[in-house]
Structure 1
Amino acid sequence: MKTGMFTCGHQRLPLEQAFKDAHELGYDGIEIWGGRPHAFAPDLKAGDIRQVKELARVYQLPIIGYTPETNAYPYNMMIGSERMRHESLDMIMLAMDMAREMGAGFTLISAAHAGYLATPAEIWPRLVDNLRELSAYAENIGIDLLLEPLTPYESNVVCSANDVLRVLEAVPSPRLHGMVDICAPFVQGEPITSYFDKLGERLRHVHIVDSDGASDSHYIPGEGKIPLAPLMRELTARGYDGYCTLELVTLYMNEPRLYAALALDRFQALMAG
């Protein structure tokens, strides 16, 4: 399996530092976080895309995917007025344009919290409408769109393998796929491998983290409770050979290079064992 670094953990440093660290530490690719100051989609459109493409060329790192910030600050396609919904969709479509231009393998989004007063009768049609519009755009420009489930601490919309499966059945676009951040199933007692069982070839990507089992916190491998060694053996036995992004987000921002190195060392030890 190939490894990816997520640039979110480097957000208090220049984006080039993330590329430099990923290259020097031995990551196979890089997943670009789409927030400021690194790679906010409107900033890319205004000209910053040239820097991202140049960094990928200089450091010889494939861009695995582009992950715009879609969890409510300020964009959340699942909450607010119709104007807010359309603004969120417009931003995601722009992110898909930028992902395509930077040569990213996919654009990754999530369905953030719909609000405590939203009912299932309101949530589901809005989700399907959103993903139909986005998938149609993805088909038109030729980019894959990945939907990430979140933990129940983060969202009340798409949190389980069944949620992702239901979406893929309702929106049967060849450009819409699922993925799994293994924290999400672990904290709610869902087998991580159920994503592979249920989604099959429509599971396109994996975020590897560790978890305390009681929060949405993302820990480096070995610092939580997920049985990662047998899990990785299971994924290998199932034939998964795609990228695994070691998704360190904000917990280790004080020393992103050191923790990215430690995460990679531990992941490689898991694979070797």
Structure 2
Amino acid sequence: MQIGLFTSGYQRNPLRDAFADAERFGYDYVELWGGRPHAFAPDLKAGDLAAVRALADQHGVPIRVYTPEHNAYPYNFMIGSESQRADAIDYLTTCLDMGKAMGAEFTVISPAHAGYRTPRAEVNERLVDSVTQLARHAERIGHTLVVEALTPYESNVCTTADDLAWLLDQVGSPNLAAMCDIVPPFVQHESIVGYLDKLGDRMRHLHVVDSDGSSDTHLVPGEGVIPLRELLAEFRAAGYDGTATIELVTNYLNEPRLYARRAIDELRALLED
């Protein structure tokens, strides 16, 4: 299992700190957060891409995953007018182009909240239409689009393995896959290992963190209540040998390197048991 560092936790630090720490602490790769000031796709397209790729080369840490910021202002393809949706799709198309250009294996999206009053039929139609557009672009450029389910605290669109499997079936693209952030199934009492059964080889990625069981907070492995040692053993027994990013986001912004070090030390110890 390849262990990745998510750069979102370093958003108040220079991006070079994340790459330097990934190298120092023994991470296998970086999952690059696509937000300012680090790797916002329009900035990459305007000329910043070369500097980001240079950081990966300098530290010998590849960018295997690109995860653009798009679940809050100003981009959310699940809510607002058609022109707002089109703007979000244009932005994510650029994100796919930049993911491909930086050499990432795939670009990750996660459908955000569609609004409390939106009928389910309208939600489903908008979701399928939007992801189909993005998947077709991924096919054209030879890249892979991966969809992540969110917690019910964050979204009312795609929150379970069943939702992901349904979406992949509806779109029907060879360049579309899914992933499992282990917090969403845990907080809603869904089987985490069930993702493997329901998605099979269409599950391409993991976000591995810990959880308090009652919020969307992402904690350092070992500091929550998920039985991680047993869970990781089940994933390995099932033959999962893909990427697994320790997705520390905003909970540790004050000292990201301290927690990035602790997180990989804790996770490697759990994997060795």
Q: How high is the TM-score relative to the length of structure 1?
A: 0.99
Counterpart CA distance in 1 for 2:196 and 2:150 is 17
User: CA RMSD for the aligned pairs?
Assistant: 0.5
Within-5 A mapping of 1:79-158: 79-158=79-158
Equivalence for 1:23: 23
3-state DSSP of counterpart to 2:57: helix
Displacement of 1:72: 2.1
Q: Which amino acid aligns with 2:215?
A: S
Paired residues, number: 273
Counterpart CA distance in 2 for 1:195 and 1:51 is 37
Counterpart CA distance in 1 for 2:139 and 2:52 is 24
1:203 corresponds to 2:203: yes
Equivalence for 1:49: 49
1:6 corresponds to 2:34: no
Q: Which amino acid aligns with 1:137?
A: H
Displacement of 1:249: 0.2
Counterpart CA distance in 2 for 1:204 and 1:119 is 31
Displacement of 1:23: 0.5
3-state DSSP of counterpart to 2:204: strand
Q: Which amino acid aligns with 1:97?
A: D
CA displacement, residues 29-59 of structure 1 (integer Å, 9 cap, x when unaligned):
0000000000000100110001111011111
Counterpart CA distance in 2 for 1:12 and 1:136 is 35
3-state DSSP of counterpart to 1:64: strand
Q: Which amino acid aligns with 2:109?
A: I
1:33 corresponds to 2:16: no
Within-5 A mapping of 1:221-232: 221-232=221-232
Within-5 A mapping of 1:154-169: 154-169=154-169
Q: Which amino acid aligns with 1:46?
A: A
Displacement of 1:206: 0.2
3-state DSSP of counterpart to 2:56: helix
Within-5 A mapping of 1:171-182: 171-182=171-182
3-state DSSP of counterpart to 1:130: helix
- Structure 1 segments, 4+ long, off by >4 Å, are none
Equivalence for 1:269: 269
- % same residue: 56
Displacement of 1:64: 1.3
Counterpart CA distance in 2 for 1:155 and 1:241 is 29
3-state DSSP of counterpart to 2:8: helix
CA displacement, residues 225-255 of structure 1 (integer Å, 9 cap, x when unaligned):
1000000111110111111100000000111
3-state DSSP of counterpart to 1:239: coil
Unaligned runs of 5+ in 2: none
Counterpart CA distance in 2 for 1:73 and 1:17 is 26
Displacement of 1:265: 0.5
Counterpart CA distance in 1 for 2:211 and 2:30 is 22
Displacement of 1:222: 0.9
Q: Which amino acid aligns with 1:58?
A: Q
Counterpart CA distance in 2 for 1:266 and 1:119 is 43
Q: How high is the TM-score relative to the length of structure 2?
A: 0.99
Counterpart CA distance in 2 for 1:180 and 1:86 is 27
Within-5 A mapping of 1:213-224: 213-224=213-224
Counterpart CA distance in 2 for 1:23 and 1:254 is 20
